[in-house]
Amino acid sequence: MSFIEQLKNGGWTKPKLKQDNNIRKYSTTGDILSYKRCKRQYGYFHERGFKSSSTTQMYFGTLVHDVLDKIHRIYQSTGALPDEQGIKDVVDESHEVLVRAGIRPYDPIQQKKNATKLLGRFLELVNVKFFNHVQQTEYPLERELKTDNDTPYVLHGIVDVLSGAICHDLDLPYSTDPGDIEIWDYKASKRPEKGSQYIQDYQYQMRVYCELYKQQTGKYPARAVLVFLGDLNDDKLWEAAGGDPSNFARIFYVVTPNLDHIETAMKDFNGTVDLIEEERGKLFEEQWQAPEHEVDSMTCQACEIRFNCERLGH
């Protein structure tokens, strides 16, 4: 049947469901939180291969992570942290790599200037006390698990920094010990307000990472620390801190391993894996429908398939 005949007969050829017996990998942010935020968006962009035409949102966070990783390697090889010009040079280098990869900012001059400012302040605040304790960057965590429905899957994640007792050496206001092992995660944004969905999602992510670390090593880290670099843009807070990280505690958010909280997070993770697997088993035309729950406006505004979505405007 020709293409025109298909149209005249009122339909398109529907693709067959993929039969895949491989054990799938699931991550906290890329899969579980994305699905929970909007399963329609998750299905189209993660499962059906739709590609976003906009990469501006991911540019700044990726730039900050890349530069901090390079700075760690510089410190390892030279024993010194870069000065302001050195940071600017690394930012320029990382920017060019991202642009060649198709990740472009809306305003490159301002974005690079802002990244240089935040990273310069971060290095001044934590200095070598931070980098002396870094054991590994981009530390991979991976473990094969099963859901309550006996579905096997691989839980994986990447921790920005695995370290020794950074909090202890920085004299941060937590109960610390010089023998602590910590996991750190960089966030380029400002710290969300207490109780917001964003801070709950970050707690969830860190609890899953703590469990993964325990599955991989046999014990929990002393703590997981989120660093919200965006708050370093506040000039008044920066001046008031006087270069003392304990006076700028807002940029640090600590999640201490709690067995009940971790168990709840892992139960939710497993349940969400089962929901995604159930969705994959549906008929093609029934898959990845708009969620029944309310979707936050920022998720909708950033979605390129929102204009034919029944959730738009709710």
Q: Which residues contact 240 (CB under 8 A, 6 or more apart)?
A: 247
What is the token pair recorded at 198?
């964003």
User: What pLDDT does residue 3 have?
Assistant: 54
Query: Does the structure show a pLDDT above 80 at 1?
Result: no
- 80, 123: one domain: yes
Residue 4 lies in a domain: no
What is the C-alpha separation between 254 and 174, in angstroms, rounded?
Answer: 9
Residue 79 lies in a domain: yes
- 209, 164: one domain: yes
What is the C-alpha separation between 264 and 136, in angstroms, rounded?
Answer: 28
User: What pLDDT does residue 272 have?
Assistant: 96
Residue 33 lies in a domain: no
What is the C-alpha separation between 266 and 238, in angstroms, rounded?
Answer: 37
Lowest mean pLDDT across 125-129, 164-168, 258-262, 286-290: 286-290
Residue 191 lies in a domain: yes
For range 156-169, the mean pLDDT: 95
User: What pLDDT does residue 14 have?
Assistant: 55
- 81, 161: one domain: no
Helix, coil or strand: residue 27? coil
pLDDT in tens, 264-290: 999 999 999 999 999 988 998 888 888
Parent domain of 95: 53-132
pLDDT category at 50 given cuts 50, 70, 90 is: confident
Q: Which residues contact 5 (CB under 8 A, 6 or more apart)?
A: none
Q: What is the mean pLDDT of the chain?
A: 88
C-alpha distances in Å from residue 138, one per residue of 43, 47, 96, 109, 196 = 27, 25, 21, 27, 27
Lowest mean pLDDT across 21-30, 34-43, 73-82, 301-310: 301-310
What is the C-alpha separation between 287 and 18, in angstroms, rounded?
Answer: 13
Query: Does the structure show a pLDDT above 80 at 213?
Result: yes
Task: Work out how many domains the chain is built from and give that number.
Answer: 2
How much is the pTM? 0.86
